[in-house]
Amino acid sequence: MTLTTVLIILIPAVILFVFLNLLSRELFRKFHEMKRQAEREEVLAESLQLDFTRESKTLKRVEVPEPVARILCVDDEEVILDSFRKILVLDGYSVDTVETGQEALGLIQTHDYDFVFTDLKMPAMSGTEVAKSVKHLRPDIDVVIITGFATVESAVECMKYGAMDYVEKPFTEDELRMFVKHALIRRHDRIEKQLKPRVHVLGTAASDQSAGGEFSVPGGVLVSQGHCWVSLAQDGSAKIGLDDFARKLIGRIDTIELPEVGTRVKAGEQLFGIRQGDRHAHFRAPLSGKVIKVNGDLGKGNGALENLSYGRSWVCVIEGEALDEELPGLKIGKSAVALFQQDIDRFRAFLQQGNDAVVADPASLCIGAIEKLDNARWDSAVKEFFGR
């Protein structure tokens, strides 16, 4: 049998196999979706028979397993509330509905919601008042105004008091689904930005201070992949230290292990170390050359770094021997910021892989995040982020 014959037989067989595999996956997906829809319809029907009046007079609640988001809707028109429950529950959302703003404000103080949808025109409490109160009591909740009077003026008024957006009624099922989907994307984007620490370039290397929830890179300072900073002098010598990413994530440093004056190192070789209790981390030389000076104040320990990353917290000075070849491999300005941002994302992924309970907010990520890990994870983090 010739190669051509074999190919003529095999190629259609492979194509058929791939087609059947894709078809089976799509059928399984559709079956799974139909099953979920049936379960949501059953939950919707059963939940509406339950009595929640002891918790709130007009409360109706439908909770689905693993909801896309949790929504509280307040409107004095029962038909609107019925529409929200039917449309959004079948789309995978858990939905609570009440008929007054006062009830809604009571619920947000005892329950967690992602969104509050509130009618603009209600007799006892307007949607604007609900929006103001929700954002005061629970600024983490996104508020959307439901209005039949969608004007520029009313929209601007809503935004002024913290509402994310407004939706005009009457609405179709598809319109509401699409609106909520887009609102959820905006919410996720906002939360992601809030959780992501800011990285910025400072004016000079002497500008040591940056906020706890931020990282900084002084203008003119170069940064290595292993998070050492380099500040060049006119004679070709270079001060070297721990950059803000390393300094903040490591947290407490008990001892700096300084190199010996006169030691020659190649870029990528061990240059200095730090100790944190019985833990030990090595940092690699960003440049090749001879160590001509060390910062003796750091070797004294007892918090000698003063929580600073740059300026007087340099570790040693190297007389560079291959600057033309090695400097292009270091990062400066925007490229240094990009390195920080990339490693912030990588560090978050690292924490999630190990289920480390560290990332509650930007500040907790910055200050001592590695210090809070157990010894094995500490060693892995040091190797992953500072061993380059």
Do 144 and 116 touch, CB atoms closer than 8 A? Answer: yes
Tell me whether residue 364 is in a domain: yes
Q: How many domains does the chain have?
A: 2
Whether 204 and 162 share a structural domain = no
Tell me whether residue 290 is in a domain: yes
* Residue 179, domain extent: 45-195
Q: Is 266 helix (H, G, I), strand (E, B) or coil?
A: coil
Q: What CATH code is carried by the domain that includes residue 131?
A: 3.40.50.2300
Whether 130 and 155 share a structural domain = yes
Whether 258 and 129 share a structural domain = no
Burial pattern 90-114, b for ≥16 Cβ within 10 A else e, equals: bbebbbbbbbbbbbbbbbbeeeebb
Whether 182 and 202 share a structural domain = no
SS3 of 67-96: the string is: CCCEEEEECCCHHHHHHHHHHHHHCCCEEE
Task: Note the pLDDT of residue 272.
Answer: 94
Distance CA 143, CA 71 (A): 10
Whether 218 and 285 share a structural domain = yes
Task: Note the pLDDT of residue 207.
Answer: 45
Q: What is the pTM of this model?
A: 0.55
pLDDT in tens, the chain (388 residues): 565 665 566 666 666 666 666 666 666 566 556 666 666 566 555 666 666 677 788 999 988 888 889 999 999 988 889 889 889 988 889 999 999 999 999 999 888 899 999 998 888 888 889 999 998 888 889 999 988 765 657 767 777 888 898 888 888 889 999 999 999 999 888 776 666 667 877 754 444 455 556 788 887 889 999 999 999 988 889 999 999 899 888 988 888 899 999 999 999 999 999 999 899 999 999 999 999 999 988 755 444 455 567 878 899 999 999 999 999 999 988 889 899 989 988 888 888 777 655 544 444 566 788 888 889 999 999 999 998 8
**Angle at Cα 364 formed by Cα 361 and Cα 367, nearest 5°?**
145
Q: Is 117 helix (H, G, I), strand (E, B) or coil?
A: strand
Q: Is 251 helix (H, G, I), strand (E, B) or coil?
A: coil
